[in-house]
């Protein structure tokens, strides 16, 4: 997933975030993207929440990949959030989610969007990778794990 290195930065990796719901998690993600990429938090939140209303972005095994299309975004952007306490996410396996990879893409990035999602799903389906994401305490190490896949 080397192309992931271009859309994820160490600054967009948050560990052990204390949230109690999807809404609160999306608020944290929106604030992060506003602070690191200058994307208005309301735009990020609305995009993520609108997509989630179409169906859960949880993959199972405690993982979700919330994603949304952002007007005027020129290239995809990503963030990683590990939650201190897993939250309900309407996952197919009914497991609460503790690992979130948030993906924002330009409005017209259909093929690229799908390729990134497929690559993420493959990486996150690996049990060893999930265990490392839950145990690593250094954002640099998590960044390296994603970008060296």
Active site residues per annotation: 67
Q: Which two tokens stand for residue 92?
A: 């197919």
Distance CA 51, CA 105 (A): 12
| Cβ–Cβ < 8 Å for 124, 99 | yes
Which residues does 49 contact at the CB level (< 8 Å), separation at least 6? 23, 26
| Cβ–Cβ < 8 Å for 119, 147 | no
Q: Which two tokens stand for residue 115?
A: 């390729």
Phi, psi values for residue 96, rounded to 5°: -70, 155
């Amino acid at each position: 997933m080397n192309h992931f290195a271009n859309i994820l930065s160490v600054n967009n990796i948050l560990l052990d975030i204390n949230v109690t719901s999807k809404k609160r998690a999306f608020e944290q993600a929106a604030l992060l993207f506003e602070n690191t990429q200058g994307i208005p938090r309301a735009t990020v939140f609305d995009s993520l929440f609108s997509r989630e209303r179409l169906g859960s972005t949880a993959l199972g095994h405690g993982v979700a990949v919330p994603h949304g299309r952002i007007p005027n975004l020129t290239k995809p952007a990503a963030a990683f959030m590990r939650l201190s306490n897993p939250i309900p996410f309407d996952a197919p396996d009914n497991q609460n989610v503790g690992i979130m990879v948030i993906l924002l893409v330009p409005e017209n990035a259909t093929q690229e969007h799908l390729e990134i999602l497929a690559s993420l799903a493959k990486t996150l389906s690996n049990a060893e990778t999930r265990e490392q994401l839950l145990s690593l305490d250094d954002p640099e190490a998590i960044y390296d794990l994603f970008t060296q896949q």
